[in-house]
Amino acid sequence: MKIPEEPANLEKELLKCVRCGSCKVLCPTYQHSALEVTSARGRLVLLRGLLTGDIKPSPLLNERIFSCLLCGACAGKCPLGIDIPEAICHGRALLSKSDKERKQLRTIARFTTRWPDLSFKMLRMSQQVVLPFLYKKELIPFIPEFPEIVHRSRRQVYKSSQKRGRVAVFSGCSVEHLFPHLEEALIHVLNKLGYEVILPKGLVCCGAPLRTLGMEDESVARARKNLSILNKLTVEAVLSLCPTCTLTLKTDYPKMVGKGVENAMDISVFLNDKLEPARAAGKTAVYHDPCHLKYGLGIEREPREMITKAGLELIGPREQGCCGFGGVFCMSQQEMSNTLLTACTTHLKQSESDTVITSCPGCMLQLNRTVTDRPVLHLIELIEETYCFGTADEDVQEKEKTQS
Ligand code: SF4
Ligand code: SF4
């Protein structure tokens, strides 16, 4: 189902639905509201009405379709194989012109994804004035903290003294501008394992925030640009620290433009079998599954194995639900986002773990708002701490040199 071939394909897809309701079971927005119209099945019924003309575009319809998290909890649940998040993306593309409520968000998304360096510089400069004002007006759910240094002299190639292989890193906007230390940690770990790391020049936002807002043409343009760079590289894998970026490169691009980055990979898939078990650290961790990693990419085992290999004991509830971040969702659906965050935090706090570990910068941003009694770490931070420090080798010295 490709958006340029709309709406015939979408209609065909929606006609398959037998309304069994299997897709509703894990839908967070349905669990929150208990309303059929904000469930996976309900949204498909609304889209069908839109295509047949029985339902006209309206602020209420837009609200139902744009209130989906695109978390993917419904994906894979449909016995008829309907790709529900994809259908909802199609619906958003159809509704975007009539959707005045998110017009400002579209302008912001367009600007920040086209000029990310400038945008984040402006945000940083306005940190003390504009962001508190937007927060007070409830236009943003929280005031993000910006790192002091965005990124050091970013080289394009980080060589390793060994020659085990070569990988590329797709940084993604949130890692590059809000958590640059995660990218440094990843490069450090990969170099330590003997991999040469490429940070390809010219990459742009993966396009997911634009697609979320129904800006299909603009997300397609970002996809084509990234593909023209990534698919020319001779690398074992294209790694990302953000499951949304990985999902978009690997799974969404083929739906959008007919081809994707086949070797795009979450770091846990690439690193897991390359790590030896470390000594027990005598510490405990609870792991939070990012939705796009768990439902979108089907990855749950590898991060947990890596935590155990790193010497931590995994405790706490396995299921905590969505943290409610959802990118643009946490800005446009603040009340629902906060409720989901509270429920998720309550589950996480059932365990008295030393740390909370997750694999997504977005989840980190969200969980850091409420989990204040222990650190919330990205998996790569634990891996770097365990496998790169504590042994006086040249990598450690190199890292210290770059930090000074
Ligand atoms: S699981 Fe599939 S067939 Fe059943 S209601 Fe959901 S979309 Fe329709
Ligand atoms: S993507 Fe998530 S929020 Fe949207 S309909 Fe599916 S389960 Fe519900």
pLDDT in tens, 269-311: 999 999 999 999 899 999 999 999 999 999 999 999 999 999 9
Interatomic CA distance for residues 295 and 138, integer angstroms: 30
Interatomic CA distance for residues 294 and 66, integer angstroms: 22
Q: How close is the Cα of 287 to the center of ligand 1, in Å?
A: 30
pLDDT score recorded for residue 151: 59
Which one-letter DSSP state was computed for residue 236? S
pLDDT digits (tens, 9 = 90+) for 40-74: 999 999 999 999 999 999 999 999 999 999 999 99
pLDDT digits (tens, 9 = 90+) for 319-359: 889 999 999 899 889 999 999 999 999 999 998 999 999 99
Output phi, psi for 384, to 5 deg. -65, -45
Tell me the pLDDT band of 153, cut-offs 50, 70 and 90: low
Q: The sheet that has 195-198: what strands, in order across it?
A: 157-158, 195-198, 165-169, 237-240, 264-266
pLDDT score recorded for residue 318: 86
| Ligand 2 proximal residues by C-beta, below 6 Å | 27-29, 40, 43, 68-74, 84-85
- 395 pLDDT higher than 80: no
pLDDT digits (tens, 9 = 90+) for 88-106: 999 999 999 999 989 988 9
Shortest-distance ligand to the CA of residue 78: 1
- 394 pLDDT higher than 60: no
Q: In CATH, which of 3.40.50.1860, 3.40.50.300, 3.50.50.60, 3.40.50.10330 is domain 157-272?
A: 3.40.50.1860
CA neighbor of 28 nearest in space, from 370, 353, 321: 321
| Ligand 1 proximal residues by C-beta, below 6 Å | 17-23, 40-41, 44, 77-78, 80, 82, 84
- Mean pLDDT for the chain? 90
Domain range summary for the chain, segments of one domain joined by +: 3-95, 157-272, 275-388
Domain pair 3-95 / 275-388, same fold: no
Largest separation between any pair of C-alpha atoms in the chain = 69
Cβ atoms of 244 and 174 within 8 Å: the answer is no
Q: Which CATH architecture does the domain made up of 275-388 adopt?
A: 3-Layer(aba) Sandwich (3.40)
Q: How close is the Cα of 18 to the center of ligand 1, in Å?
A: 6
pLDDT score recorded for residue 159: 92
pLDDT score recorded for residue 30: 96
Q: Which atom of ligand 1 is nearest to the CA of 20?
A: 4
Q: How close is the Cα of 374 to the center of ligand 1, in Å?
A: 40
pLDDT score recorded for residue 1: 59
Q: Which CATH architecture does the domain made up of 3-95 adopt?
A: Orthogonal Bundle (1.10)
Atom 6 (ligand 1) nearest CA: 23
The reply to whether the predicted model has a pTM over 0.75 is: yes
Distances (CA, A) of 176 to 151, 197, 295, 297, 298: 7, 16, 25, 22, 25
Interatomic CA distance for residues 327 and 27, integer angstroms: 17
Tell me the pLDDT band of 4, cut-offs 50, 70 and 90: very low
| Residue 111: alpha-carbon gap to chain centroid | 20
- Give percent above pLDDT 70 in the chain: 93
pLDDT digits (tens, 9 = 90+) for 247-270: 999 999 999 999 999 999 999 999
- 236 pLDDT higher than 50: yes
Token code pair at residue 257: 């433009």
pLDDT digits (tens, 9 = 90+) for 112-152: 888 888 888 888 787 777 778 877 777 778 887 777 666 55
Q: How close is the Cα of 114 to the center of ligand 2, in Å?
A: 28
